[in-house]
Structure 1
Amino acid sequence: MADRYLTVALDRRGVQCTARLLTDKAPLTCAAVWDALPLSADVYHAKYARNEIYALFPAFAPQEPPLENPTVTPIPGDLCYFTFSDVQLGTSSYGYEDRAAVAARSVTVDLALFYERNNLLLNGDTGWVPGIVWGTVVEGLAEMAEACQDLWRSGASGETLSFRRA
């Protein structure tokens, strides 16, 4: 199979990077995401994992992928897939504006981009939170990291994170 690529963008800031899907290491996850593209939603900056931006989506795969190619220590450029239940994300401590909508979903998918080093997927409420590494940024990570730092400092309000076929 030929390599597949996608564009990851912070739409309002006009910044994007290109990532290659890791179909050899996470084939079921890559297929689920690829078939669901394009995807876009409000962006959030991580509270616990450090150098991560992410967006939350209702489940889009016919069946959630298994924990293939897992990590708890993502590196710069990793795209990760997480699955959370309504109980895991439905509390006010997470700060989602539309908590009721997140809590109403039986499954929420978190698609994340890690843009810098020293990440640890450890949540004080639940412990280790392994993610599926399904893609890696191959172009534009430095510009995206700069925009992510701006998002951290300036805020995410009004910004969206988009995933599209390249």
Structure 2
Amino acid sequence: MARHITVTLEARGVSCLARLLDDEAPRTASAVWDALPLSSAVFHGKYARNEIYNLVPAFAAVEPGKENTTITPIPGDLCYFQFDADVLVTPSHGYGGGEVPTQKHDIIDLALFYGRNNLLINGDQGWVPGNVFGTVVEGLEEMAAACQDIWMGGARGETLTFARSDRT
């Protein structure tokens, strides 16, 4: 039976429904599911294009590792990225107000891609493959409009939440 999660922009009151890719990314999907809900400030992608994401402390008992990876996510993809804190805490990334969690050495980036033509390359790091662990099945159009509003209007005061859905 498929497992579903909601992805919500709290202040904007917009959600979409995603199906976990348990067959394609079982380790990542399980790690995320077991840790839900996960919520923190939202960011809009600088390098990847049509992406919103949050940063949370590492949560998996065992890091899932590379699984069902991509460098060209499509609209509706949910991706998991694992970073060492030193990778993100650089002047070029622009985090400076305590946005990057530092409780643990590893930081997890949970991302939603809402449009086409994404390319996961970073000027400091090179290629940044992500684990595709879910796909949006409802509400992508409304979420994409809210994501565009974050891009043009700003992310301040907005929270991105990943939570379990009771939908089967």
On whether the aligned pair clears a TM of 0.5, the verdict is yes
- Structure 1 unpaired stretches of 5+: none
Alignment size in residue pairs: 165
Report what 1:72 is aligned to.
71
What CA distance in whole angstroms lies between the structure 2 residues aligned with 1:95 and 1:84?
A: 16
Report what 1:55 is aligned to.
54
Report what 1:150 is aligned to.
149
Counterpart secondary structure, 2:157: coil
Deviating runs (4+, > 4 A) in structure 1? none
Give CA-to-partner distance per residue, 1:86-109, whole Å, 9 cap, x none.
Answer: 110011221224358545641000
What CA distance in whole angstroms lies between the structure 2 residues aligned with 1:125 and 1:146?
A: 30
- Structure 2 unpaired stretches of 5+: none
The residue correspondences of 1:36-115 to structure 2 (distance < 5 A) are 36-99=35-98, 102=101, 105-115=104-114
Q: Are the counterparts in 2 of residues 85 and 105 from structure 1 also a CA contact under 8 Å? A: no
Counterpart secondary structure, 1:28: helix
Counterpart secondary structure, 2:46: coil
The TM-score with structure 2 as length reference comes to: 0.95
Letter in 2 for 1:144: M
* More deviation, 96-105/156-165: 96-105
What CA distance in whole angstroms lies between the structure 2 residues aligned with 1:85 and 1:102?
A: 11
The TM-score with structure 1 as length reference comes to: 0.96
Q: Please tell me the root mean square deviation across aligned C-alpha atoms, in Å.
A: 1.3
What CA distance in whole angstroms lies between the structure 2 residues aligned with 1:14 and 1:87?
A: 33
Letter in 2 for 1:123: N
